[in-house]
Structures are given as C-alpha cells and as structure tokens.
Amino acid sequence: MKSTRIGLVATAAALALTASACGSDDSGDGGSGGDGIKIGIKFDQPGLGLKQGNDYTGMDVDVATYVAGELGHDESDIEWVQAPSSQRETLISTGQVDLVVATYSITDERKESVSFAGPYFVAGQDLLVRSDDDSITGPDSLEGKKLCSVTGSTSAQNVSEEVPGVNLQEFGTYSECVAALVSGAIDALTTDDTILAGYAAQDQYEGKLKVVGAPFSEERYGIGLKKGDTELCQQVTDAITKMIDDGDWQTIVDDNLGPAGYEPPAGNPPTPDACS
C-alpha cells in the first residue's frame, strides 16, 4: 500500500510539472503571461520617453507600463528598447520589440507595415517660445522670425511652406534648439506640442518657456505592434480604453505634462479605433 501511494504522488507531481511547462510555452508572445515584454520608447524626450541612468520616465513610459500591466506583466518584466523614429517599423517587423509607444503617429503609410492600437493621445504641432514673448501667437506671426527644428523634420518644413518669410534654423537635436531659444539665438521651436511641453516642464526651464497653445496639425499617437496581430491589438485597445475610463489617463497626462501648464488639445481623451 505504501509503495502504491508513493507511485501516485510521483505521477501527480509529474503531471503538475508537465502542465506548468505547457503553460510557460504559451506565454511568450508579448501578450498576457509571465514572460518578459519588450517595448520601444524614445530615450531623449523629456515628459514623454526619457532615459536617465536606469530610470525611465514620461507619458509614453507610464502608458506603456499601464498597458503591460493589463497584459499580465509586472513593471520588472519590461525590457525598454530605444526606438528612434526612423527605426520603429523595423523594430516591430523583425520582432525586436513587442510594442512601440514612442510619440508614434498613426498614418495610412505606416499602417502598410505595422498595426496600431489607439490612439491613446491626440497631439498637435505647435510652437515653443520664451515666456516673456507675446509677439508669437501662431505660424502667421513668424514672418522674419528665427524658427528652429531638427534637421529633416517635417514639422519645420510644414511651417516654412506655410510662412515663406520665416528664417528656418535646423539643429541636430531638440535639446540644441531649446538651449538656443533660452539664450535668445532663436525666437521659436516647432514640433509636437507634447514634446514642447516636456521641455518646458524641465526644472532648468521652469518659468522661462511656454507652449503657444495654438496647434495647427493633428497627430494621433498609437501603440505600434506586429502587422495583422489583431488579438494583441484588441488586448492593447482594451487596456487603453480602461486607462481612459478609470481616470488613469488624466493622471498620467497631468503628472508628465502638467508642470508646463500644458492643456491637451481638442480630441482628448480620444476614443481608440477598432482593430482590423
């Protein structure tokens, strides 16, 4: 009788191990499960996606962390991957990341190679100026002004086409533009209002800079994922919807962009699109 009991216990233990192993195999797809998840973010955008040492902060980081939690991942499960604008599609299509949350505007062109969940935020192109400058109120007041943006930026080109008389200055990074703005070397900086608000909210620029608050484009930020993965898309969409409905979305926006006095433009909080 004793040996029979031992045999039964051994069999039960073996079955439990087999079931556990099967469960592990099913959880490594970037969706819910105990394995890690790789998320692409910007590393150099204050208020949105910023890496300082081993710390990651910003609205996109908080949104990504919330979504990962809804997919069954603890914050410690997340591997943050730098996702420069020009590499986002490649990172997704080659499986180097499961998700990209990096001021990633949803466009028809991008939809040809990746799928999007969202939007989770609607931004707009705007202008950053010195706090004591009331002469710049929008693109139509930039005639003869020195405008800065990053080399090759569509934001700068949009304004230069709309205001031919603007003196466009192109720098390598937005940080260089901000430093030039504070010193008086340029009059304004243009890109997405969220990026501008992130810089204005930094401690060293407190009270020195302001976002004009007259957005003249619409940028619908989505979460990029592998083309055609409708199951994961729906899971992420459900997470975004819950984040908005529960009030966590507002908290995330206020915590990261509120210090700049930033008010989200019309269309926020957004209603996520249906997955297809």
DSSP H or E segment with residue 192? strand 188-192
Below-70 pLDDT ranges, the chain: 1-34, 152
| Phi, psi dihedral angles at 8 (to 5 degrees) | -65, -40
How does pLDDT run across 180-214, given as a tens digit for each residue?
Answer: 999 999 999 999 999 999 999 888 998 899 999 88
String of DSSP letters for 200-249: HTSGGGTTTEEE-----S-EEEEEEEETT-HHHHHHHHHHHHHHHHTTHH
pLDDT of the residue at 152: 63
Q: Are residues 203 and 227 in the same domain?
A: no
Alpha carbon 237 to its chain centroid, in Å, reads 15
Q: Are residues 81 and 117 in the same domain?
A: yes
pLDDT of the residue at 14: 42
223 contacts 67 by C-beta, under 8 angstroms: yes
How does pLDDT run across 71-90, given as a tens digit for each residue?
Answer: 999 999 999 999 988 899 99
Q: Are residues 99 and 232 in the same domain?
A: yes
pLDDT of the residue at 275: 94
Q: How far apart are CA 190 and CA 256, in angstroms?
A: 19
Q: How far apart are CA 256 and CA 260, in angstroms?
A: 9
Structural domains counted in the chain: 2
pLDDT of the residue at 4: 39
Q: Are residues 100 and 235 in the same domain?
A: yes
In a domain? residue 227 = yes
Q: Are residues 246 and 114 in the same domain?
A: yes
Q: Which residues is 123 bridged to in the sheet?
A: 219
Residues listed for the chain: 276
**Cβ-based neighbours of 202, under 8 Å, separated by 6 or more:** 46, 47
In a domain? residue 81 = yes
In a domain? residue 179 = yes
pLDDT of the residue at 102: 95
Q: Are residues 130 and 195 in the same domain?
A: yes
221 contacts 253 by C-beta, under 8 angstroms: no
Q: Are residues 118 and 229 in the same domain?
A: yes
In a domain? residue 29 = no
Owning domain of residue 96: 37-123+219-260
Q: How far apart are CA 88 and CA 110, in angstroms?
A: 10
pLDDT of the residue at 85: 86
In a domain? residue 21 = no
